[in-house]
Amino acid sequence: MSPKTLYDKIWDAHVAHEAEDGTSLLYIDRHLVHEVTSPQAFEGLRMAGRKVRAPEKTIAVPDHNVPTTADRVNGIENPESRIQVEALDKNAKDFGIHYYPVHDVRQGIVHIVGPEQGWTLPGMTVVCGDSHTATHGAFGALAHGIGTSEVEHVLATQTLIQKKSKNMKVEITGKLQPGVTAKDITLAVIGETGTAGGTGYVIEYCGEAIRNLSMEGRMTVCNMAIEGGARAGLIAPDETTFEYVKGRPHAPKGAQWEAAMEWWKTLYTDEGAHFDKVVTIRGEDIAPVVTWGTSPEDVLPITASVPNPDDFEGGKVDAARRSLEYMGLEAGQKLSDVEIDTVFIGSCTNGRIEDLRAAAEILKGKKIKDGMRAMVVPGSGLVRLQAEEEGLADIFKEAGFEWRLAGCSMCLAMNPDQLQPGERCAATSNRNFEGRQGRGGRTHLLSPAMAAAAAITGRLTDVRELM
């Protein structure tokens, strides 16, 4: 038998039907659902008189629209947001799917709740009407975002019509320098490959620096595979993975656990398996990074200066010029001189407990700069609870941060957490697109520790200076 990649193995285990031209019906093990991309899909089912084929494999949670302030117990003020969340309440009930409503302590960002509750397991296929579904690849699950028509397709048939992607390997060798995190790895990779570098591929991340990451760090890395254009990002499961999964509410137990482990331990890329594209980066070469432009590929070490658009080639010249104008930056300006007025710590990229610990470590005993608006939005109610038990919430509050309830919040600013035109934010989220955090708002992507450092100094800051 010819050697297979991890992606090949998971793919092969889920093909329910393959046509002669390679068009396949891929069986879906877990379907995660949120309020923004699902209402039209459920409506489609109703109109066709169809039901959800596998409600026991379908899990819903409202996250994009929900307010993160304490007054949300009184209901959602924005009528459109409220209608979307109420529609999900009703759809979950009518179609009998698992549901974590707004007031449930387990509610949170769908990509944080799935792993936390043990829904996400190695070797699974996981989809959600959200591009950051790539996050679940950290478990060695084939996980990717889909559109609403495909949400409806999965609800009705538990399958997706797919053609197999190509295999790409991203290897991060060696060890990371102090102050360098999973977020810096994933941004550095996109800086190297570009936002279209992964188009047509499923990426497997490997190498010593990846192996040494915790599960939460691995989720951060895979989360942004989509920003590199890839269909999905994967990391082969190992002891770190099994340790994380064991004992979670929906993880297998007893004899089932043993049976699962037997299969999970075969989920790695065989020696000699073929990759269509390989990128290798030395872990030692990765610095704490920030973005300067309006594409996640606009990445530079914090020690660098804003680039000159004329130094790029092709369409990137105009794109970079447009970015600098939008961002209000000058070529040659030192990144560490860029002043910010807002800090956002949270999102499916960096809203887990280790992210909050890393930020709190920098903030301990310090205050944020006068006039700074800073907020922490834990990724789930359980992350929030744990952070309160560990005393992290007090550190944030004493430093001057707002301590919020769980949700997507200012990552995409669908709820009231938004930037005003011209405001500049250091954000631990995943996209720095024009208007992403609010019309006219300016976003610099970075790690939680770097965000904390920026909150203290009031400018983009090399976290190593505060360590």
Using the minimum distance from each CB to another protein, give the nearer residue, 17 or 274: 17
Cβ contacts of residue 136 below 8 Å, gap of 6+?
Answer: 30, 111, 114, 115, 120, 124, 126, 143, 219, 222
| Candidate residues 178, 249, 272, 315; the one interacting with another protein per rule CB under 8 A | 315
Using the minimum distance from each CB to another protein, give the nearer residue, 174 or 435: 435
Rounded Cα–Cα distance for residues 126 and 33 (Å): 11
Interacting positions 175-204 with another protein (CB under 8 A)? 195-196, 199-200
| CA neighbor of 223 nearest in space, from 305, 340, 299, 136 | 136
Contact of 152 with 187, CB cutoff 8 Å: no
CB of 93 to another protein, least distance (A): 16
Rounded Cα–Cα distance for residues 295 and 297 (Å): 5
Cβ contacts of residue 42 below 8 Å, gap of 6+?
Answer: 87, 91, 94, 95, 152, 155
| Candidate residues 4, 9, 57, 442; the one interacting with another protein per rule CB under 8 A | 57
Contact of 96 with 55, CB cutoff 8 Å: yes
Using the minimum distance from each CB to another protein, give the nearer residue, 126 or 176: 126
CB of 53 to another protein, least distance (A): 8
Interacting positions 395-414 with another protein (CB under 8 A)? 412-414
**Total residues in contact with another protein, by rule CB under 8 A:** 80
Using the minimum distance from each CB to another protein, give the nearer residue, 101 or 145: 145
Using the minimum distance from each CB to another protein, give the nearer residue, 79 or 178: 79
Assign 3-state DSSP to the chain and report helix, strand, coil percentages, each to 5: 40, 20, 40
Interacting positions 431-450 with another protein (CB under 8 A)? 431, 433-436, 439-440
CB of 251 to another protein, least distance (A): 8
Tokens, residue 2: 């010819």
Q: Of 21-29, 94-102, 185-193, 363-371, which segment contacts another protein by CB under 8 A?
A: 21-29
| CA neighbor of 178 nearest in space, from 304, 281, 283 | 283
Rounded Cα–Cα distance for residues 5 and 271 (Å): 9
| Candidate residues 8, 9, 11, 27; the one interacting with another protein per rule CB under 8 A | 27
Q: Is 295 in the site for another protein (CB under 8 A)?
A: yes
Tell the burial category of 17 from Cβ atoms under 10 Å away from its Cβ (0-12, 13-18, 19+).
Answer: exposed
CB of 79 to another protein, least distance (A): 9
Integer angstrom CA distances of residue 423 from 123, 296, 426, 437: 43, 19, 10, 10
Q: Is 156 in the site for another protein (CB under 8 A)?
A: yes
| Candidate residues 2, 21, 74, 371; the one interacting with another protein per rule CB under 8 A | 21
| Candidate residues 5, 58, 135, 158; the one interacting with another protein per rule CB under 8 A | 158
Q: Is 46 in the site for another protein (CB under 8 A)?
A: no
Interacting positions 72-101 with another protein (CB under 8 A)? 78, 80-81, 83-84, 87
Using the minimum distance from each CB to another protein, give the nearer residue, 367 or 439: 439
Using the minimum distance from each CB to another protein, give the nearer residue, 436 or 442: 436
Site map (CB under 8 A) of another protein, residues 240-279, x = contact: ------------x---xx-xx--x----------------
Q: What is the DSSP string of 214-275?
A: -HHHHHHHHHTTGGGT-SEEE----HHHHHHHTT-TTS--HHHHHHHHHHHTT-SPPTT---
Using the minimum distance from each CB to another protein, give the nearer residue, 250 or 364: 250
Cβ contacts of residue 441 below 8 Å, gap of 6+?
Answer: 413, 418, 419, 420, 421, 422, 423, 424, 425, 435
| Candidate residues 157, 240, 308, 386; the one interacting with another protein per rule CB under 8 A | 157
Tell the burial category of 2 from Cβ atoms under 10 Å away from its Cβ (0-12, 13-18, 19+).
Answer: exposed
Q: Is 147 in the site for another protein (CB under 8 A)?
A: yes
Q: Is 458 in the site for another protein (CB under 8 A)?
A: no
Using the minimum distance from each CB to another protein, give the nearer residue, 319 or 466: 319
Contact of 335 with 290, CB cutoff 8 Å: yes
CB of 456 to another protein, least distance (A): 30
Q: Is 308 in the site for another protein (CB under 8 A)?
A: no
| CA neighbor of 376 nearest in space, from 429, 432, 331, 317 | 429
Q: Is 52 in the site for another protein (CB under 8 A)?
A: no
| Candidate residues 23, 266, 280, 303; the one interacting with another protein per rule CB under 8 A | 23
Interacting positions 325-384 with another protein (CB under 8 A)? none
Rounded Cα–Cα distance for residues 335 and 337 (Å): 5
| Candidate residues 19, 105, 278, 467; the one interacting with another protein per rule CB under 8 A | 19
Tokens, residue 118: 């043990």
Q: Is 70 in the site for another protein (CB under 8 A)?
A: no
